[in-house]
Amino acid sequence: MACAAFFDGPGAHAAPLPSDHPILGVWRLTMPDGSCSETYRFRGDGTTHVTSADEVSESTFDIPAEPSDKGFYRMVDTLVKDNGKKDCAGQVTKVGTKVTNFVVFHPSGALFLMCEAETLDRCIGPFHRVDGLVI
C-alpha cells in the first residue's frame, strides 16, 4: 500500500494509559500477499502481546496520551519475552530489542500506520482494529 494514500530496559512497565487511548485494543496486520497475519494486543498497563506466524512475544511500550503537532504518536517498544520462533518475516527477534516508531491513526480510528519517522514516506500497515477480541 502506498502510505501517502492512507490519508526502558527489558521488563520495565510503562505508565498506564488513559482508557480512551486510540492504541488500546486488538489490531491485525496482514502481509500484502495474505500469507501471514500478526495480531497485536495493546493493553492499558503499557504491555503488548503479539502473535506473528509461529512467534509469540510480549513487550512494554511507551506512547504519549496525545499525538505531536504532526499527528503522530512516538512509540518506544521493548521486547521482554519471546518464544524464539520465526515471525511473518521469517525472523527471530531478540529479547531486549528496543524500537522507536511513529503511529498515525486514520480519522475513523479503525486503522493505523506504523512509520519510521513523522512522515508517511516509510510505513507499514494498515493495522486493522479487531472488534470482539479480548485484550
**Mean pLDDT across 110-119:** 97
State residue 16's pLDDT score.
78
Greatest distance between any 2 Cα atoms in the chain:
38
Q: Cell for 19?
A: 482508557
pLDDT bracket for residue 2 (50, 70, 90): very low
40 contacts 27 by C-beta, under 8 angstroms:
yes
Amino acid, res. 135: I
Phi, psi torsion values for 29, nearest 5 degrees: -115, 120
Q: What tens digit of pLDDT does each residue of 46-89 get?
A: 999 999 999 999 999 999 999 999 999 999 999 999 999 999 99
Domains and CATH numbers, the chain: 3-129 (2.40.128)
Q: What is the pTM of this model?
A: 0.85
Q: Check pLDDT > 60 for residue 4.
A: no
State residue 66's pLDDT score.
95
